[in-house]
Amino acid sequence: MQGYKSIAGMLVLVVLFIFQTNVFCQFNDYSTKIGLQFNGLLSDTEFDKDLKPDNADFKFSYLSRLFLRFELGTPILEAEVGAGYGSLAGVDFTNAEWKTSLIPIDFRLILSPFDMKGWNPYGFAGGGVLNFTVETRPVSPSPNTTDLKDEGWVGFVPVGLGIEFALSDNLLLDISGGYSLAFDDNLNYYNNRDAYSDPEDNDGYYMAGIGLTLVSGIDSDADGDGLLKSEENQIGTDPNNPDTDGDGLNDGVEVRTYFTNPLNPDSDSDGLTDGDEVMTHRTDPLNADSDGDGLNDGVEVNTHKTDPLNPDDDVVKIEVPIVLEGITFETNKSDITPESEKTLMSALKTLQTHTDIVVEISGHTDDVGKNAYNQKLSERRAESVKVWLVAKGIKADRIITVGYGEEKPRVANYSDSNRRLKRRIEFKRIK
């Protein structure tokens, strides 16, 4: 027993040492694990289950095992294929030693539901085949000699628990313990099974192991966002979520292309998410005022309904007339034609956006006809535009109308096309 106590003491010291280190390896999400374990074994046979003489002692037993482990489509479930070589020994009822060599080959399922840093508890269960060869037979005679044999292949089931500790990003210390039950009662060359025997009469062994595991592919990109797991851990993003802040841009694009913060959906704090800026408005997600007009992009889009890439639609200058191209009237009348709607909506939007401005709406005609008639016609047309805007909710005292007739030609009257340019409505901020 002293040997087993020494091993247990060493394991405790190793665990305490690991918890004092600053290694923070992620155990899930990797390509493969290759490990080598050394197990101390404790036989579980008829000799161990029944009463022994007081001077009976445990014999040194061991199992060296090599395994390959990989994930089964999810980080919490792994598959493992392993094979080993060892020796199982004990004493019989007369305290005589027996010894059997073992070659186990098994498949295990590993469940590790915790995505932790530094250490990783897991459970395992599996099945396989076990080759045994009795090298030293016990003195105690077997009651069942018909089924007695000293070598062969038998099935067995290993179950147990373990913990992985990170020594580095690619090297793990593995500590495990469990039990293996053989579907046979001959491992110690003593068979007391009959037709009515319980499977508990089968031979088996307890195991406590320690080993090293080499990990490859642990620094992968599980969420496909263009960032490796180590990078995401350093940044603080979720390595299983390609868009940690939910702004419509994946973490890798934010970090490598736009240099925005993948933990903040609105990097420039302008009221628009980085994804909306890049994909919808084509604005700069790191500049709150992309067009430099003094209004941040979010205010333009959400409040003023203006173009955050066009500074001209955001500031209306005083005493600078704007020709409302597209407003037309019935010939010699002040009735607005239906095709003028788009231009009128633009003027309405400006007045709705800038609620504190006062504007002048002026009408202009060409020089065809009498001047007095043209003067009245231009006044009526300007008034028609005001009526349309007031009907849409603009206060009447914010709009002053005036008719200039033919007094302020836009171009010289050398052609019909030039006369058409003279016939216009102008929009000018006066306050």
The ranges of the chain annotated as CATH 2.40.160.20 are: 2-216
Topology (CATH level 3) of domain 322-429: 60s Ribosomal Protein L30; Chain: A; (3.30.1330)
For the chain, where do the domains classified as CATH 3.30.1330.60 start and end?
322-429
Pairing of strands 359-364, 77-91: unpaired
Between CA 71 and CA 412 the distance in angstroms is: 82
H or E segment to which residue 206 belongs: strand 204-216
The per-residue DSSP string of 69-125 comes to EEEEEETTEEEEEEEEEEEEEEE-TTS-EEEEEEEEEEEEEEE-----BSEEEEEEE
Asked whether the predicted pLDDT for residue 161 surpasses 90, the reply is yes
Distance CA 417, CA 397 (A): 35
* Pairwise pLDDT comparison (110 vs 217), residue with the higher score: 110
pLDDT value for 221: 78
Q: For residue range 296-312, list pLDDT tens digits in order.
A: 888 778 766 678 888 76
Structurally, at CATH architecture level, domain 2-216 sits in Beta Barrel (2.40)
- Model pLDDT, residue 339: 87
- On whether the CB atoms of residues 298 and 271 are closer than 8 A, the answer is yes
Name the more confident of 134 and 56: 134
User: What is the reported pLDDT for 290?
Assistant: 87
The per-residue pLDDT for range 378-389, each reduced to its tens digit, is 999 999 999 999
Asked whether the predicted pLDDT for residue 177 surpasses 90, the reply is yes
Query: Chain-wide mean pLDDT for the chain?
Result: 85
The per-residue pLDDT for range 255-292, each reduced to its tens digit, is: 999 999 999 999 999 889 998 999 998 999 999 888 87
> Residue 264's closest CA among 279, 249, 278?
249
